Amino acid sequence: MKNIYLYIISGIFILLMLACKEDLPEMEKLPILNPVSTDAEAVNWQTVLDLDYHNLISIDPAAEANTPAYQNELSELVTITNARTAEQARKAEYWSAGAVLRWNEIAQELVSKYNVAPRVGQATDPQKPFAHPPFAARAYALLSVAQQDALINTWIYKYEFNRQAPASYAQDIDLLFEISDLPSYPSEHAVVAKVSQEVLSYLFPLEKEYLEELAEEHIESRKWAGVNTQSDNLAGIKVGEVIAGQVINYAKSDRMSEANDPEDRHLIYFDIANQISVPWKCIETPLRKPMVPFYSIVKTWHDSTEVYNTTPPPPPAIGSNEFNEDIKFVRNICDNRTREQWRIADFWADGGGTSTPPGHWNRIAKGLISNESLSEVRAARIFSVMNRAMMDAGILSWWSKYKYYLPRPSQIDEKITIATGIPNFPSYVSGHSTFSASAGTVLSHFFPGERENLKQMYEEAGISRVYGGIHYNFDNLAGREAGIEIGEIAIKEALPNNLN
Amino acid sequence: MKKTFILMMLSLYASYNYAQGLILDGFMQKKGDIISALSFSTENYDTYYVGEVKTQNPNLGTITTNSTSLYVVGGITDYLNVVVNLPYISSKPSAGFWSPQSDFQDLSIFLKGRLFNHNFESVGQFSLSAGLGYSTPISQYIADAPISIGHQAKRTEFRLLVQHQLPMGLFIMAQGGYLHNYNVTIDRGYEVLVPDAFDFTARIGGNIKSFYADAWLSNQIAKKGTNIGPGVPFPGNAISFLRTGFNLYSTLPFVKNLGVSAGMGFTLSGENIGKATRISGGLVYKLSVLK
């Protein structure tokens, strides 16, 4: 009788052991991209960098279909696709979700990996950058500008040479999935793989080999799927290399290298002593230098006068009635924080080790783009408008932070407890609010049906910092206002380029 | 009855902060007997393990966790007991600005059955028991923060225990358990895998008259999980530890069915957990409903 218990219980034990085999997917599953439109008119879109790309790039015209060279490529594709392994199919499907989307994910993964504050006193290592939000905003902007400029040029070549998909010349190719009638030379996947690999290697030098492997696999996967030949890929690589070179040149001269301030020169530069009665100070142990005090001198993507015109008015003076009301508001939230307020604070925190608030908005954009099955070139364009707006929003926000040098709420009232880490730089205006409102405004333009949702999201992202106990609500509101205005500047620039 | 006193000692292990299941013992309550205990404990640490590396964080200082646990064991039959535990936990840092946390944590329910029992007369009594437990958070406490009272993970656990009682009142007990944790959806909006763990505990103890003492060693070994780090969700951390401690118990001379207990616990080594020292005390009350 007692043995029965033993069997039953052992059985349950074994089931429990089996149950723990479940696993979570590492990369998000996305559908294979079959764009609603090939966006042939993108050949007329404006590139971001005003360069004579056509003269910089030299690719051979696409070989005619009946040439032995191209016939060889086609038979190579027949062989490859007929011998395709399950692993190759899996990889080809992974990349086919969208070259732009996948490389955006990779950029986020790297930002998360490098978003670790160096130890206090540790010298900055250019090989191992600290991918904080301002760094990340710039990284995403550089990547999407490179992807956009590369893809616009690719579209120009595609429609100039008008080579059809390999399968339309060779029926024996075992296609892995259906593709659109977008001309195939140069391969837009090879272009994005190459340009992204190089820009990201510039930003994260230690990842060079990893990125090389990814790009190689990505480019090869187009052959495994039977959708691009060798010359499609090689031409794509060439376009990618040239554009990456130009974007990296831009990055080298955008003054980001001067944004750090190990000697506290910003105290003089911003005349802090005469600016505020109680200046911001670091409230961490041990003391740490504030984050990129000179981010505001980095080159903006949009007209800098227009960007700086959005600078908010000074915050309420410390000790004024208005200020006291506001700090009481924060204190009250902290003393009575609801579970939902905590959830919101954590949901939008995007702190150390994550892809940062700009990364969070890239994920939101990715979802919208993927849902609507937009072409690679349109996806790149949307990311580019959004990420440039976010970087400019960051620059403006950092300008305001150091110009006004307002302490965080906990520095004024040490009983203010937090639900998220206190960022180590001044309070006014909120970076989260500015980043989020600019991104939400840009996305509302491209996805008008989502306008209300997006507004709710950027407002929640902004107030989340007040719920977290690390911002006054006026930081949030002023940041939001500046962010919306910068989003509008970005949209205005995108408009004449026939892009809705 | 001596066994009654001994039985209650397990209440002292019941809510050792989080990341540990309810440790059972090999003694059984008779049908209709109910024992309840209210225990209080305080534990603190200023050093914690990131992976296996000892770390301190001056922005948290010393983290103090207090808990109050209600613990009840009831005999359904002489061979099947039900064990229930509910702790209320508060945790706060001594430095920095992180919000303190307090709430009811996880309700645990165990069924404990005696599978085999043999009395060897001169060399004592040997028993084999098994426990099947389930625990579930009963409040919305914060799970993914440097200061938290638990991981919000539902858990199923299974334990096997062998115990040998020597005639002169000494006993030794050994048990092994498997703790299966269910995934948790964190506030950031996604699901996190909470690693399962093995738990091994040994205890030696005995009693003279109405006084009881024991010493224990407990080792939890987590399966694959993450280390504490920037951006890493806390519930996914692989939490392992080696702890030791002792317990004392005595009945009160003038109050019938009431006893007091006291104990200490020490963390010898660990992974992704505080190097905590714990002091506990409790009140134990026995009630018979079928007499």
At A281, which CATH number?
1.10.606.20
Per residue of chain A (500 residues), what is the pLDDT tens digit? Answer: 445 555 555 555 555 444 443 333 346 788 899 998 999 999 999 999 999 998 999 999 999 999 999 999 999 999 999 999 999 999 999 999 999 999 999 999 999 999 999 998 887 788 999 999 999 999 999 999 999 999 999 999 999 999 999 999 999 999 999 989 999 999 999 999 999 999 999 999 999 999 999 999 999 999 999 999 999 999 999 999 999 999 999 999 999 999 999 999 999 999 999 999 999 999 999 999 999 999 999 999 999 999 999 999 999 999 999 999 999 999 999 999 999 999 999 999 999 999 999 999 999 999 999 999 999 999 999 999 999 999 999 999 999 999 999 999 999 999 999 999 999 999 999 999 999 999 999 999 999 999 999 999 999 999 999 999 999 999 999 999 999 999 999 999 888 655 54
Residues 5-64 of chain B with CB under 8 A from chain A are 58-59
* Residue B186 at interface with chain A, using a CB cutoff of 8 Å: yes
Task: Using an 8 Å CB-CB cutoff, list chain B residues near A351.
Answer: 230-231
Band (B255; pLDDT cuts 50, 70, 90): confident
> Closest approach of chain B CAs to the CA of A331, in angstroms?
12
Q: Percentage of chain B surpassing pLDDT 90?
A: 77
Return the pLDDT at A494.
86
What's the domain count of chain A?
A: 2
Min Cα distance B154 → chain A (Å) is 13
A24, B191: Cβ pair inside 8 Å? Answer: yes
Q: What does the buried/exposed string (b/e) look like for A274-297 if buried means 16 or more CB atoms within 10 Å of the residue's CB?
A: eebeebbebbeeeeebbbbbbbbb
Within-domain flag for A437: yes
Q: Is the dihedral of CA A307, A310, A316, A317 positive or negative?
A: positive
Residues in A touching B189 (Cβ below 8 Å):
347
What's the CA gap between B109 and B21, in Å, rounded? 11
Q: Quickly state the pLDDT bin for B13 (edges 50, 70, 90).
A: very low
Domain that holds residue A428: 259-497
Nearest by CB: A20 against B100, B188, B223: B223
ipTM summary value:
0.92
pLDDT attached to residue A125: 86
Are A348 and A232 contained in the same domain?
Answer: no
Residues of A in contact with B230 (CB under 8 A): 115-117, 351-353
* Domain of residue B6, residue span: 2-288
- Give dist(CA A170, CA A190) in Å, integer: 21
Kindly state whether residue A21 falls inside one of the protein's structural domains: no
Per the CB < 8 Å rule, is B193 touching A285?
A: no
Partners of residue B193 in chain A, C-beta under 8 Å: 22-24
Output the DSSP codes for A97-118: T-HHHHHHHHHHHHHHHH--PP
A:304-343 residues touching chain B, CB 8 A cutoff: 334, 337, 339, 342-343
A76 and A166 in a single domain? The answer is yes
Chain B residues whose beta carbon lies within 8 Å of the beta carbon of residue A419: 99, 142, 145
The shortest CB-CB distance from A353 to any of B130, B196, B229 is to B229
The per-residue pLDDT for B114 is 95
pLDDT of residue B56: 97
Identify the three-state secondary structure at position A152. Answer: helix
Give B59's contacts in chain A (Cβ within 8 Å).
284-285
- Do A486 and A344 lie in one domain? The reply is yes
Q: Is residue A65 part of a domain?
A: yes
Q: Do residues A307 and A441 share a domain?
A: yes
With beta carbons under 8 A apart, name residues in chain A contacting B58.
285-286
Put simply, the chain B residues between 69 and 88 with a CB less than 8 A from any chain A CB are none
Q: What is the DSSP string of A370-417?
A: HHTT--HHHHHHHHHHHHHHHHHHHHHHHHHHHHH-PPPHHHH-TT--
Residue where a domain terminates, one of A252, A269, A297: A252
pLDDT of residue B280: 94
Q: Residue A406: what residue type?
A: L
Partner B contacted by A427 (CB < 8 A): no
Closest Cβ–Cβ partner in B97, B142, B232 for A422: B97
Asked if the C-beta of B119 comes within 8 angstroms of chain A's C-beta atoms, the answer is no
B218 or B12, greater pLDDT: B218
Say whether both A268 and A123 belong to one domain.
no
- Residue of B97, B192, B230 with shortest CB distance to A352: B230
Last residue in a domain, options A183, A217, A252: A252
Q: Are A388 and A362 in contact (CB under 8 A)?
A: no
Distance from CA of B99 to the nearest CA of A (A): 5
Interchain proximity B187–A346, CB inside 8 Å: yes
Domain identity same for A296 and A248: no
Residues A345 and A459 in one domain: yes
Residue A94: its pLDDT value, please? Answer: 96
A418 in contact with B at a CB cutoff of 8 Å? yes
Side chain identity, residue B265: G
Q: Quick check: A13 and B187 CB within 8 A? A: no
Q: Are residues A283 and A370 in the same domain?
A: yes
Q: Give the residue from A209, A235, A252 where a domain finishes.
A: A252
Interface test with B, best of A3, A6, A9, A12 (most B CBs within 10 A): A9
* C-beta atoms surrounding A17 within 10 Å: 13
Residue B156 contacts A, CB cutoff 8 Å: yes
Residue A96: how many CA atoms within 13 Å on its side-chain side? 24
Interface test with A, best of B55, B98, B99, B226 (most A CBs within 10 A): B99
Q: Which residues of A touch B178 (CB under 8 A)?
A: 13, 16-17
Which residue type does B87 have?
A: P
| Cross-chain CB nearest to A346 (options B144, B180, B196) | B144
Q: Is residue B143 less than 8 Å (CB to CB) from chain A?
A: no
Q: Measure the CA–CA gap between A365 and A385, rounded to whole angstroms.
A: 11
> Which chain A residues touch B93 with a CB distance below 8 Å?
none
- A-chain residue closest to B95, CA distance: A285
Q: Choose between B209 and B201: higher pLDDT.
A: B201
CATH of the domain at B207: 2.40.160.40
- Neighboring chain B residues of A352 at a CB cutoff of 8 Å: 230-231
State the pLDDT at residue B1. 38
Q: Which residues on B lie below 8 Å from A469 (Cβ)?
A: 97, 99
Identify any residues that bridge with B88 across adjacent strands, giving them in sequence order: B68, B104
| Predicted confidence (pLDDT) at residue B17 exceeds the cutoff of 90 | no
Beta carbons of B58 and A285 less than 8 Å apart: yes
Residues of chain B in contact with residue A131, where contact means CB-CB under 8 angstroms, are: none
**Residue among A9, A117, A410 minimizing CB distance to B97:** A410
State residue B257's pLDDT score.
86
Q: In the predicted model, what is the mean pLDDT of chain B?
A: 90
Q: In this complex, do A285 and B116 lie within 8 Å of one another by their Cβ atoms?
A: no
Please give the pLDDT value at position A25: 35
The pLDDT of residue A27 is 63
- Looking at the complex, does the CB of residue A496 fall below 8 Å from at least one CB of chain B? no
What 3 state SS string does A16-46 have? HHHHCCCCCCCCCCCCCCCCCCCCHHHHHCC
Task: Please indicate if any CB of chain B lies within 8 Å of the CB of A9.
Answer: yes
| Interchain pair A285, B59: CB under 8 A | yes
Q: Is A213 contained in some domain?
A: yes
Does A367 contact chain B (CB < 8 Å)?
no
Cα distance from A118 to chain B (closest Cα, Å)? 12
SS3 letters for chain B?
Answer: CHHHHHHHHHHHHCCCCCCCCCCCCCCCCCCCEEEEEEEEEEEEECCEEECCEEECCCCCCCEEEEEEEEEEEEECCCCEEEEEEEEEEEEEECCCCECCEEEECEEEEEEEEEEEEEECHHHCEEEEEEEEEEEEECCCCCCCCCCCCCCCCCEEEEEEEEEEECCCCEEEEEEEEEEEECCEECCCCCEECCCCEEEEEEEEEEEECCEEEEEEEEEEEECCCECCCCCCCHHHECCEEEEEEEEEEEECCCCCCEEEEEEEEEEEEEECCECCEEEEEEEEEEEECCC
| Residue of chain B minimizing CA distance to A116 | B230
How many A/B residue pairs have CB atoms within 8 Å?
84
CB of A19 less than 8 A from some CB of B:
yes
- Of B142, B191, B231, nearest to A352 by CB-CB distance is B231
**What backbone phi and psi angles, to 5 degrees, belong to A285?**
-125, 130
Q: Give residue B9's pLDDT.
A: 45
Residue ranges of A 102-141 with Cβ closer than 8 A to chain B: 112, 115-117
Domain count, chain B: 1
Kindly state the tokens that stand for B103.
């709430």
Section B244-258 average pLDDT: 89
The answer as to whether A447 is a domain residue is yes
Query: Is B196 part of the contact surface with chain A (CB cutoff 8 Å)?
Result: yes
Residue linked to tokens 């996805």 = A447
Chain A partners within 8 Å of B95 (Cβ)? 285
